[in-house]
Amino acid sequence: MFETFAEAGTRSDKTISYDDINGGKLADVPIELAGLTQLHTGDFIR
């Protein structure tokens, strides 16, 4: 799952990916990326 945050008129645009690394169906690790990014399944290694 990921969210994008676009704050109008600022350089604070960011994308946050919430990753479940242990299969518990809860976000274990948030990863914040600068800018607005469309993420796809192929962007991650399993």
Q: Express each pLDDT in 8-45 by its tens digit.
A: 667 788 888 888 889 898 888 898 888 888 888 888 87
Query: What pLDDT does residue 21 have?
Result: 85
> CA torsion, points 46, 33, 18, 13, in degrees to nearest 10?
-150
pTM, rounded to two decimals: 0.65
Q: Give the pLDDT score at 25.
A: 87
Domain boundaries, the chain: 2-43
Q: Which pLDDT does position 8 carry in this prediction?
A: 65
Between 6 and 2, where is the model more confident?
6
CB 15 within 8 A of CB 35: yes
